Structure 1
Amino acid sequence: MKRYARLPLSSATLLLALAPATLAGQTEGQAADAPLSIGVIDLDAAAFGSPAGQALAQQLTDFQQELAAELQARQDAVRAVELRVAEADSLTVDERRVLEREYQDALTAFQRYQQDKQEEAAALQTDGRERIRAELAPVIEAIQAELGYDLILNATSPIIILFSERVDITPLVIDRLAAEDPGGA
């Protein structure tokens, strides 16, 4: 069995964009009283194994490697200023303040850079999820139409991916509630 790299995105987030989709009508030739047809998909495996999922995994890996190197360099620069502050016993009060200000500025710049990169990573993930959704949704819908599934479930979570009107029992429940109501409220 092929293993897929896990991406730092949740299937629940991906599913919100995919599901549940209501299937308009029934597959041609499918009788209303025919047994329900249910399909199951491991959405995580499909997403992570898709070309868009593989591309996102590579983008995130590359981004994380570049970020780790840059963060280390910036952190080293902040530490160098911090060491200069710690060793500045012979400086005047004004010189020490200037050095401490330099340290605070370097620390603030480091934290801003880190926050900006976190936002960039989140945007990269969001764009990647959209590409995956755009790739998966039509394939799942085509398989549903081709094989006549009334219900498609996610194998790893209790989330419905697609469903047809045949599985919706709402009208039946309403009819039975009305039949049980003696006052005809």
Structure 2
Amino acid sequence: MERYARLVLSFAALLLALAPTTLAGQADEAPLRIGVIDLDAAAFGSPAGQELAQQLTDFQQDLAAELQARQEAVRAVELRVAEADSLTVDEQRVLEREYQDALTAFQRYQQDKQEEATALQNDGRERIRAELAPVIEAIQAELDYDLILNATSPIIILFSERVDITQLVIDRLASETPGGP
């Protein structure tokens, strides 16, 4: 994965290096405008990001308290099992079953809460995206950016047709190929 990230970053750097030269001969067009955004900082600083952070904090605090109470209940049954020497075999089996049921319920609760936390995070990310996307697009249009990059990872956020050098590469490859135009 790291190799892929480096490849994407190298490609973006190559694109940035070549783009100005491809437009140098186009006097009627303004120089490329490139913006950079730290998406993580923008996401965490957004109202939806702040709300998600608070929701996750509250969720974790409530979960920790509930898990502790449930774990103590399991331990109580476990202690009763450990002290069950004086019980009949049938009573011990019932107690063992009670312990297994309590342990299973505890594990299911943990799994359910993990799924709930994942859903909460995914919903929060969608709210953040819905909040950020129109703002970034408006800034891109307002300030006429041709390319917006993420400052913390090799991700292109937005780009205009002006930075697409695909046809130029194809044309040059065709002209350099023996038998080409």
Describe the shift of the 1:159–1:32 C-alpha distance in structure 2 as closer, same or farther (beyond 3 A).
farther
Describe the shift of the 1:32–1:107 C-alpha distance in structure 2 as closer, same or farther (beyond 3 A).
farther
Superposition deviation, residue 32 in structure 1: 6.0
Matched with 1:121 is 117
Matched with 2:103 is 107
Matched with 1:72 is 68
CA RMSD in angstroms comes to 1.3
Matched with 1:46 is 42
| Structure showing greater relative contact order (alpha-carbon pairs closer than 8 Å, 6 or more residues apart) | 1
1:168 maps to 2:164 = yes
Structure with the higher helix share, 1 or 2: 2
Matched with 2:32 is 36
What's the TM-score once normalised by structure 2's chain length?
0.83
**Alignment partner of 1:55 out of 34, 51, 56:** 51
Matched with 1:183 is 179
What's the TM-score once normalised by structure 1's chain length?
0.81
Report percent identity of matched pairs: 91
Amino acid corresponding to residue 40 of structure 2 in structure 1 = D
Amino acid corresponding to residue 175 of structure 2 in structure 1 = A
Larger Rg: 2
Superposition deviation, residue 184 in structure 1: 3.8
Stretches of structure 2 that go unaligned for 5 or more consecutive residues are 1-26
Q: Distance in 1 between matches of 2:112 and 2:51?
A: 22
Superposition deviation, residue 158 in structure 1: 1.2
Q: Distance in 1 between matches of 2:28 and 2:128?
A: 33
